[in-house]
Amino acid sequence: MELAVKKTEGKVQADVGIRKGLEGLTPEKIKRAIDRVFNAETGARIKGYKEICVRCGLCADSCHYYLSHDGDPVYSPVGKVKQTLWKLLEKKERISPEELERAALVAYTECNLCRRCSMYCPIGIDTAYIISVVRRICHLLGITPQYIQDTAHSHSVTMNQMWVKEDEWTDSLLWQEEEAREEIPTLRIPLDKEGADIMYSVIAPEPKFQPQLIYFAAVIMNECGMDWTMSSLPGWDNSDMAMFTGDLELMGRLKRVHFERAQKLRVKRIVMGECGHAFRSIYDVGNRWLGWHMYPVEVIHAIEFYWQMLQEGRLKVARKYEKPVTLHDPCNIVRGRGLHEKARDVVRAFCSNFIEMHPNREHNYCCSAGGGVINCGPPYKKVRVQGNRIKAEQLKATGAEVIIAPCHNCHSGLKDILEGYDVKGMGLSFFSEIIYECMEKPSAIQG
C-alpha cells in the first residue's frame, strides 16, 4: 500500500535564523567552534566513529526519510552524516556558507534523532549522537533555525517555553481543580506541598493548549490516593528545546532549575507527563551535562506510573475502551527507556481491541516530529510530512480508529501525517484520556 501526500503550494523559504548567522561567520570563528567541539567535548568518540564507519549503507532502510523518499541516498543516515559532520571534519574553516547552510538544514529538519538507525548499524555507530554534535557546532556558530531558537530563548527568559506568566500558570491549575471538583468534590491540585511523595511536572503547551490533560492527571492521582504536588514556581515546565538546538549550557540550567524545585519541595520522585523529549532531557541528557552521575531525584514517565498503579491495585478498571486502538511507540521512552511492554500492559488493561502496528516496540517508525524537528516551525512542515509516508502507510494498515501516542510531539506529528496523506477515520489519544474515561472513580458524584 502506498499513499500519496496531498499537494501543497510553495517551498521552504530561506531561514532567517540560519541566514543571519551565516553573515557574521569568519574562517577563524568556524575553526574555533569545530575545534572546541571535537577537541574538548566529543573526545575520541567522534574520531572513532569516523574511522570505523565503512559507509556500508546498512543503516539506510531503517530511516523513515530514506524509505519515504523511495531510497534516495541523500536521506540515508550515512548520507546525512556525509553532508554534515564528515564535511565539517574534512574542510573545517574552508567549508562554504552553502555547505554550512545545508548541514544545518539536514541536522535540524531532516533527522529526528530517533536512533532507529543506530539499532541496525553492524558496528554500533550512534548516528543521532553524530547529528547532535553537528547541531552543537551550528549553535556555537549561530546558525540555528529561527523558530526553535525563539522557543529556547523563551524558556531561558521565563523558565517555560510558552511564555506562560506565573499567575497564568497557577490560574490554570486552579481552573482545572475547580472543573474537576464538580465531578469529585474532594479533589485538590496541591501546590508547593513539601515532603509529598510525587512532584508532577508537565510541558508548557499543556496549560497553554491542553489543560484538560492536567484535569485527567489530577483525577488519576486523586483516585489512586497519591500524596502529590505541583510546583507553582519556575521549574514546573519540563520541556527542553535547548537540548535540540545544541545549547547545552541553557539545557543544563533548565534541568538544574527543574531538579531544584523537586529538591526544595523534598519530594521522593518526579512523575512526568506524557512527553518523550522532556523525559529524555530530565533522566538522561541534562543531568549528564551537569556532571551528575545520576539524577538527584528519582524520575519516572507517566507510563511507568500508570503501570505501577495497576500493579499495586490503586488504579482499577471500571469498563473497557471499545474502539479498536493501536499504540505508537515514542522514540525517547521506548528506544530510549524500554517502556514498551509496560505501555502494552496498560493498553491491554483498559482496551478490549488492541491492534499492533508493524513494525512495533523499539523497531517502530518515528512520528517525524521529534528531535526538535517540529519545533523548527511551519516552514518545515512539508519536509516532515513528505519524509514520513512510511508512517502513514503503517498507521493505515492497522485499521484502528484510535492511535494511543503517549507523547506531545508524537501527537502533533502523527496528526500532520494523517492529514497530509488523507488517512481517514483515525483519532489520537493520550493514555490519560482513556484511563480517565474507563477507570473506577469511587470519589466521584454518582448520577
Task: Kindly report the CATH class assigned to 325-438.
Answer: alpha beta
Domain ranges of the chain: 16-144, 151-311, 325-438
Cα–Cα distance between 327 and 355 in angstroms, integer? 8
| Chain center to CA of 250 | 17
- Judged against a pLDDT cut of 60, whether residue 415 lies above it is answered with yes
- 32 contact partners, CB below 8 Å, separation of at least 6: none
In this prediction, residue 447 has a pLDDT band, given cuts at 50, 70 and 90, of low
Handedness of CA 364, 367, 369, 373 (dihedral sign): positive
In CATH terms, 16-144 corresponds, of 1.10.3470, 3.40.1440, 3.40.1000, 1.10.1060, to: 1.10.1060
Query: H helices of 351-443, where?
Result: 381-386, 389-398, 408-420, 431-438
Beta strands 269-272 and 298-301, pairing class: parallel
- 176 contact partners, CB below 8 Å, separation of at least 6: 189, 211, 212, 214, 215, 218
pLDDT at 115: 94
Cα–Cα distance between 313 and 323 in angstroms, integer? 25
Backbone angles phi, psi at 34, to 5 degrees: -65, -45
- Judged against a pLDDT cut of 60, whether residue 185 lies above it is answered with yes
pTM of the model: 0.94
- Judged against a pLDDT cut of 70, whether residue 8 lies above it is answered with no
Tens of pLDDT, residue by residue over 188-223, are 999 999 999 999 999 999 999 999 999 999 999 999
Count CB atoms within 10 A of the CB of residue 188. Answer: 15
Q: How many degrees, rounded to 5, is the angle at CA 178 between CA 316 and CA 299?
A: 55
According to DSSP, residue 318 is labeled S
Tens of pLDDT, residue by residue over 68-100, are 999 999 999 999 999 999 999 889 889 999 999
